[in-house]
Amino acid sequence: MKCWMVTNSVFNALIIATYWVATVTLIYGIFKTLKAFVKAFYEQNRKDRIQIIMEPEPQHLVDVFDV
C-alpha cells in the first residue's frame, strides 16, 4: 500500500509540473505575440508619420500667396 502512495505522489508531482510548464509556455507565447503586435503597430505608425512629413506641400496653397 505504501508503494502505491509513493507512485501516486510521483504521478501527482509530474502532473503538477506539466501544468506549470504548460501555463508558463502559454503566458510566454501570449506576451511574445503581444510584443510582436505592438512592434508591428509602432513600425506602421512610424512609416505613416515619415510619409506625412515627406509629402510635398500642395502647389495650390503656394500660388494663393504668390502675389
AA identity, residue 24: V
Mean pLDDT taken over the chain = 78
Distance CA 13, CA 22 (A): 14
Residue with cell 506602421: 44
Among 3-7, 13-17, 18-22, 25-29, which stretch is predicted with the lowest mean pLDDT? 3-7
Q: Which of 15, 38, 35 is nearest to 27 (CA)?
A: 35
Is the pLDDT assigned to residue 34 strictly greater than 70? yes
Q: Cα separation of 47 and 39, whole Å?
A: 12
Q: C-alpha grid cell for residue 29?
A: 507565447
Q: pLDDT at residue 13 above 80?
A: yes
Secondary structure of residue 55 in the 3-state scheme = coil
What is the pTM for the complete model shown?
0.54
Position 14 pLDDT exceeds 80: yes
